[in-house]
Amino acid sequence: MVSIRYLSVTQFRIFRPDAVPFALLRTPVGSGHLKTQMGFRTVGFNAETGDLVFEDGAFRRNEGGPLIVVTSAAFNNRRIVLSVIGDSELAQGAYATIQELFSASGFTLPDPVISTEETICVAELDFEWQALLNPEISSMATEFAKGLPVVPRIRGAGIKITFGFSPDQHLEEYGANLNDKQLVVEPRADVPLSERVYFTASPSGSEAHIALVEALEARIMRKTEKRPGKHSRA
């Protein structure tokens, strides 16, 4: 991996009903305390989901500690969804702060029924976009473009795999379920393909996600090096 240009993690935690002190958060005192301690700029209700959403926060857990940038923290009576700029460790730090703030108000969060993570990473990788496709598909797209009245340039292509989850008895007992998740690798929009900058996403923590992208890059590079006349960029 040449470089990481952007990294964000979203953590989803679903609890048993009424485990999150949502009634407290809806009061000026409850929301005001969280907003102040975690440096959120705005707080308001999502009309579609009914969640109370805090946005654009930044704080340090201790003096000299890393700055934790929380793009959003959404709450309802059984779910907490946290999105941070950076890795899973920073996201975990943000959640630990929420636990401490609730505890100081007399509420202890139980272990969630289920917790999941999603990572988004924009990185410069050492392979061409065509390597993501079957050579026949890449060739077909190029030939098709040449036959159009106005010949376009190919601006992007990639892979998107959707994972569906079978019903789980434990989750169903708590009225919870898992939505479909996607694994995505594609050229970053509005960046020239020649720069080899890719948008990647997966339903995993940041460490596992970066390892996955590095493994993909290594496999593609090994395959490319075996082709006559193919060389990686210096």
Report the chain's mean pLDDT, rounded to a whole number: 91
Rounded to an integer, the average pLDDT of 118-147 is 86
Residue 35: CB atoms within 10 A of its CB come to: 18
pLDDT at 109: 95
Percent of the chain's residues with pLDDT above 70: 96
Whether the per-residue pLDDT at 14 is higher than 50: the answer is yes
pLDDT at 226: 66
Rounded to an integer, the average pLDDT of 60-65 is 94
pLDDT at 175: 86
Whether the per-residue pLDDT at 178 is higher than 50: the answer is yes
Task: Tell me the HSE value of 231 on the side-chain side, using a 13 A CA sphere.
Answer: 3
Write down the domain spans for the chain: 17-109, 119-225
Whether the per-residue pLDDT at 128 is higher than 80: the answer is yes
The closest of 88, 81, 91, 34 to 209, measured between CA atoms, is 88
**Full 3-state SS string of 4-48:** EEEEEEEEEEECCCCCCCHHHHCCHHHHHHHHHHCCCCEEEECCC
The amino acid present at 93, given as its one-letter code, is G
Rounded to an integer, the average pLDDT of 120-141 is 88
Whether the per-residue pLDDT at 66 is higher than 50: the answer is yes
pLDDT at 223: 80
Contact 10, 181 (CB under 8 A): no
- pLDDT tens, residue by residue, 154-175: 777 788 999 998 878 888 888 8
Longest dimension (CA), the chain: 69
Query: Sign of the CA dihedral 114, 10, 67, 70?
Result: negative
Residue 28: CB atoms within 10 A of its CB come to: 8
